[in-house]
Amino acid sequence: MEGEPVNVNEFQELARQALPKMYYDFFSGGAEDQHTLKENVEAFRRITFRPRILVDVSRINLSTTVLGYKISAPIMVAPSSMHKLAHPEGEIATARAAAASNTIMVLSSMSSCTIEEVASSCNAIRFFQLYVYKNRDVAAQLVQRAERNGYKAIVLTVDAPMLGRREADIKNKMIVPPLKNIEGLVSTEVDNDEGSILEGFAKGALDASLCWRDIGWLRSITNLPILIKGVLTREDAIKATEVGVAGIVVSNHGARQLDYTPATITVLEEVVHAVGGKVPVFLDGGVRRGTDVFKALALGAQAILIGRPVVYGLAAKGEYGVRKVIHMLKDELELTMALSGCPSVKDITRSHLRTEHEKIHSML
């Protein structure tokens, strides 16, 4: 590729060139037929704009708040594991880029830098993503460490009682590098000659019995607000508000868990309506353009989270690459807002979009 990337998608090719095949496949791949992986991106393309004209857009304000914390734009860093596979500085580089961009990073519990290392690397607002292990004491220790080190929320991943079938990882016999946060707490030694060692590790470690009543247990061991990540239906959105979560992330785990789940943007509105403003709703999955961010906001998300684009930026150009990815999305969002007649994030409304369903309806 000639010269500097001009959009986020171009970082993916740079990452492919920079990474060993096993690691690139791990970051880029999805479950089984990868239908949902493609659909997460494609579904955004079927939504079109209804821009408004002759609005004063000489000043555009991208800023918003998440759980009371002001960030420069409604674009956050999603939790994704093992950043040192992408770059030697790992999550420390990612955290510094998020801090420089004045946004929130959600640190994965399966990170290759520790909770403490990331906390001391820069001054930023951080949330901590949690998997619950069969040994509940491990989860409790992780939560306490996050709280002690100034993380502001727990993001509980609820769509992974088992690991999805990621066939590239099986073929590549994907290894598990040291997971610093759980070193000495959970064994990563796995005898799995059949394929992905990562899959074998997850099977032995993750608690498949986790259920709704356990949200109460989690609330009992921390004072931090709890968001749940992995909601795709109105029924689960309603239950989430009933058990007292502080927010919901509409997510299909980057299409890495159950293939043929819907693209997240297609169910966002269903979840937003079910919640009825009781808690904020966020979205991850498939965001590659500032136009995608705008579409998610118009359908009711308070902010979006980006996963793969961050990893691709990190793999290609380290901390600078992550900063560049976030900056590109912010620039594109600013332009989309200006051309749609929205001077601020709160001016973005449902009336600024036309979905595929509405297009068909208008032709009948």
- Chain centroid to CA 108: how far? 10
Question: By C-alpha distance, which of 248, 205, 208, 221 is closest to 143?
Answer: 221
Integer angstrom CA distances of residue 307 from 2, 77, 158, 234: 25, 6, 17, 24
In angstroms, the CA 107 to CA 150 distance is 12
Q: Tell me how crowded residue 276 is: count the other CB atoms within 10 A of its CB.
A: 10
Residues across the chain = 364
Question: By C-alpha distance, which of 195, 141, 145 is closest to 166?
Answer: 195
What contacts 129, CB < 8 A, 6 or more positions away? 79, 106, 107, 108, 109, 154, 155, 156, 157, 229
In angstroms, the CA 292 to CA 357 distance is 18
In angstroms, the CA 84 to CA 68 distance is 31
In angstroms, the CA 313 to CA 326 distance is 9
Residues assigned a catalytic role: 253
Cross-strand bridge partners of residue 226:
154
In angstroms, the CA 281 to CA 293 distance is 14
